[in-house]
Structure 1
């Protein structure tokens, strides 16, 4: 899945990234305060298993469907469950290897991994569940994307279109936010940003102009 460039360059985009931190910092604090610390146990358990097995199976994907609160009453679920687990693991193993490849940029690794996951039923379009799989494969490097994240990005005027290669561009956008965050980004991961965006997208408010809020 080829990544196409859409992120603007220059002072205006850098200013938007810096301004976004005025929203991300309090949003992350609210997320941590209001969401149960146990909610992500499913993701953490799958990430730990994947660390040892190097792949995700049908059981792991089914658990991530619940974690993402997605509907399992769809045709793609039937098609996926009808495949041998060995086939699913063969595909996800390649995706795991791709997103863990530190010889390429985060966005390139994400794009390659997303393209591999697209070989499975139900993953040709849409990045919510695919991004959860890739995040479980590389939790310190990848991040989750969904509609709430997209809404937050739109609110912050950070461009991310639905054209092919969106997940790779999303990871590049998170890298840009980290790059322009200066001291505010210290200690933050891509996953930290996605939870802040998720919270912002579900609890919309005007972007903050102050950068003094604490995490």
Structure 2
């Protein structure tokens, strides 16, 4: 037989392969030891938690208290997947606009009744037998014409609060019509509004909302309703 066939089997494995295999075994042993150590530590921690819970229960029983375990219901998958319904906000109550104050009726001017001219009384004279002379034809004279009716008394001047709302600066035909729909036709109607009523009216003007405060209608109307034309023109310009 040849010498090569009689050589031991270990000589056929390279030296590097044996070293790598040994390292692998060592690493596996280290990983196994680490896993065992983690299991032991976890068991000890669990044991400590149980002992702490028992100690809390004993202390609670000594103090006369009962330890209530929280009710934990299993969470179903349907409750996790279905979306929560968001609460719909309740609509804000809409405050009804305060009724606009009705203007006091304007007293009608009293016209004096013309007194009827007194007819001259003819004294009863005794009739005599003398013939009555024919009356001369009467000629029309300016003095004989009917006197003109007494002139009407001068009309009372209109009160300042009854001036039309169109005197306010910043009011056009559309806004005037809008305000008339809410009963605001004179500066007195506007001046009688409170701040809250003015804001409620401004909110109902639609596209013109905000003009009440921007053009200062309430301040304009109060100056005009008070008859302070000079104060109005000093702030807002000539009428």
What is the TM-score normalised by the length of structure 2?
0.16
Larger radius of gyration: 2
Structure of greater relative contact order (alpha carbons < 8 Å, 6+ residues apart)? 1
Give the structure with the higher percent helix. Answer: 1
